[in-house]
Amino acid sequence: MDAVLIMVLAFVGYIIAYKLYGKFIGDKIFELSKKNITPSHEFEDGVDYVPTKKGIIFGHHFTSIAGTGPIVGPAIGVIWGWLPALIWIFVGSIVMGAVQDFSTLVMSLRSQGKSISEIASQYISKKVRFAFFLIVFIELWLFLAILGMIMAVIFHMYPEAVFPVWMEIPIAIALGIAVYKKNKNVTTATVLAVVGMYITVVLGHFIPLDMPSLGAMPATGVWTIILFIYAFIASTLPVTTLLQPRDYINAWELFIAMGLLIIGVFVSSFNGLEIVAPAVQLHPEGAPSMWPFLFITIACGAISGFHAVVASGTTSKQVEQETDAVFVGYGSMLMEGALAVLVIVATAAGIGLASRGDTSSVIGVAKWTEHYASWGAAAGLGSKIVAFVEGSANMISYLGIPQYLGLIIMGVFVASFAGTSLDTTTRLQRYVIQELLGANRVGAADNKSFFTNKYGATLLALITAGILAFSTGVDGKGALSLWPLFGANNQTLAALALFTASVYLKKRGGKKYLVTFIPAFFMLIMTLWALVINELSYVKSTSVLLGIINLVIIVIVVLVSIESIKAIFTSKEEKIA
């Protein structure tokens, strides 16, 4: 099928889904109302709870949930063929992912901005509280450690991206001051910030920054330490100082990058762009079975449990009015799905396209095969990033953008989103630790214990992530040993979040709960299937640590699922404030 047709049909489908299904869920299922007071107003403190215009909070939420997920997952998933990957991304994001993000956000808005773990405890049963917290902690622990490594690898691969990524920090701080302190026009401030950011992208070509080794520690290890120090500072600052404005700038960076890619697809289609990946490839060399691993490998872009943590972590504390939840929660997931579709086009078609004026490179099916000859080749972090970055740069080169500049633009794009996720994940893990250790309320001034105040909880989050990152040596890549667990754990959390929403809706009466229960049951089957296969593999290979953690996740899934299903079928309609 033509790449242009794939893109157009998917985008039109997303617009229709937002207008119809998104509105239906907001109006008829959850009955949103502007009269309901949101946590951002009830607990406004200028640090964590800040009423925010929906355009800005959309940018924060979208860049927080996106990160590198909708790039990495689809870039691996096309090894089974572009068609199954595309179907899962399109259908999954509309009826599963966006529903999970939206429902979790609304439940948190109606529960004083509490996390999905506390909400599950409230609506399912008290006994699932610790189990839910544990699986969220494992999720964020793995993700926090791996994000530091991802950014370190990107900086090493694309040193031209280092300067622009770090310059986003002063630009974002200046934007925050202009909007929140000086009351400057948001549109004017945004234009200046985005223009300034792209000026630094061009400058990055002339001042590539290579990190030298520090004694026995290679560049990746040095970068990981620097990034964790940055994460500590960024995640303890008020959200309006850095987190919000940086996410907002990154959202515009994404819109511009997506715009370039969309136009690039159209223009390059007249210059030889064609799909070179197979439509379906059931048995790639060394790859696990497509069922269930396609649904685990492609998470962000279709459905991801991490989104539930973000929605009930930072976002619910900043949404200004309840009716904004459709745009912020449902809409941002569909936008992520659109990004994942573009990744499919870049890795299934753009990678095989020669850049403008280049007649020497390997192109076509041969180029695609370089990256997807086997599961080992496709699953490598470098190969995944390169496949997307090069495929995208090839397409936008036909817009007159030199390939070297296209590589920088896309490299900065990927690194910026990883950085945004690093900030947000650190803050989320701090919230989890504070709630788990009994803080009166996240952000409350009377949290006197060291590990329930924001500095102690953040330090604990980063120390545990650092231990994992450096568990195999000084290169900071220790989290890779546990990375295979992240996908299954992530999708497990998605299933449990949907079960929680199902209990919530069942208590409201009628058959509304089926909107979340059917996706929850599907994800439960897929994740348990994958977890059992993984466990058998770990036992066979005598991977003790992986086997123990995987077994803990299986026990948690079974426990929470049983409690959820029991609560769904025994709950009676009750009035929920």
Stretch 110-130: mean pLDDT: 90
Q: What does the alpha-carbon distance between residue 60 and residue 249 come to, in Å, rounded to a whole number? A: 9
Does residue 576 fall inside a structural domain? no
> 575 burial class (0-12, 13-18, 19+ CB within 10 angstroms)?
exposed
pLDDT above 90: residue 248: no
Among 149, 154, 145, 353, smallest CA distance to 268 is for: 353
The pLDDT of residue 357: 65
Stretch 114-134: mean pLDDT: 89
Domain containing 339 — which CATH number?
1.20.1740.10
Q: 458-493, pLDDT tens digit by residue?
A: 999 999 999 888 887 887 777 666 666 788 889 999
What are the Cα distances from residue 227, in Å, to 137, 150, 232, 410?
Answer: 20, 11, 9, 20
384 close to 221: Cβ distance less than 8 angstroms: no
Q: What are phi and psi of 215, to 5 degrees?
A: 65, -125
Q: What does the alpha-carbon distance between residue 62 and residue 60 come to, in Å, rounded to a whole number? A: 6
Does residue 450 fall inside a structural domain? yes
pLDDT above 60: residue 1: no
Whole-number mean pLDDT of the chain? 89
pLDDT above 70: residue 361: no
The pLDDT of residue 147: 85
Q: Which residues pair with 319 in a beta bridge?
A: 52
Does residue 364 fall inside a structural domain? yes
Does residue 577 fall inside a structural domain? no
Q: What are phi and psi of 319, to 5 degrees?
A: -65, 130
pLDDT above 80: residue 382: no
Q: Which residues pair with 52 in a beta bridge?
A: 319
Our measurement of the distance from residue 337's CA atom to the centroid of its chain's CA atoms, rounded to an integer in Å, reads 11
Q: What is the pTM of this model?
A: 0.90
Q: Can you spell out the DSSP letters for 256-282?
A: HHHHHHHHHHHHHGGGT----S-S--S
Percentage of the chain surpassing pLDDT 70? 94
pLDDT above 80: residue 505: yes
143 pLDDT tier (thresholds 50, 70, 90): confident
Q: What are phi and psi of 237, to 5 degrees?
A: -75, 155
> How crowded is residue 229: how many other Cβ atoms within 10 Å of its Cβ?
11
> How crowded is residue 363: how many other Cβ atoms within 10 Å of its Cβ?
18
The pLDDT of residue 316: 96
Does residue 365 fall inside a structural domain? yes
Does residue 209 fall inside a structural domain? yes
User: Within 349-482, where are the H helices?
Assistant: 364-372, 375-379, 381-396, 403-436, 454-469
Q: What does the alpha-carbon distance between residue 293 and residue 527 come to, in Å, rounded to a whole number? A: 9
Does residue 212 fall inside a structural domain? yes
Which domain does 408 fall in, by range?
Answer: 3-570
Q: What does the alpha-carbon distance between residue 347 and residue 253 come to, in Å, rounded to a whole number? A: 20
Going 244 to 246 to 249 to 253, the CA torsion angle's sign is negative
pLDDT above 60: residue 445: no
* Among the ranges given (174-178, 260-264, 325-329, 540-544), the one the predictor scored with the smallest mean pLDDT: 540-544
Q: Please tell me which residue, 446 or 354, carries the higher pLDDT value.
A: 354
Stretch 375-397: mean pLDDT: 81
Stretch 425-449: mean pLDDT: 74
Stretch 485-502: mean pLDDT: 92
SS3 546: helix
> 510 burial class (0-12, 13-18, 19+ CB within 10 angstroms)?
exposed
* Among the ranges given (19-28, 153-162, 377-386, 403-412), the one the predictor scored with the smallest mean pLDDT: 377-386
Among 177, 347, 314, 164, smallest CA distance to 253 is for: 164
Q: Please tell me which residue, 1 or 22, carries the higher pLDDT value.
A: 22
Domain count, the chain: 1
The pLDDT of residue 154: 85
* Among the ranges given (37-46, 185-194, 200-209, 440-449), the one the predictor scored with the smallest mean pLDDT: 440-449
CA atoms within 13 A on the CB side of 84: 19
Among 419, 367, 358, smallest CA distance to 391 is for: 367
pLDDT above 70: residue 574: no
Token readout for 408 is: 């920088």
Does residue 240 fall inside a structural domain? yes
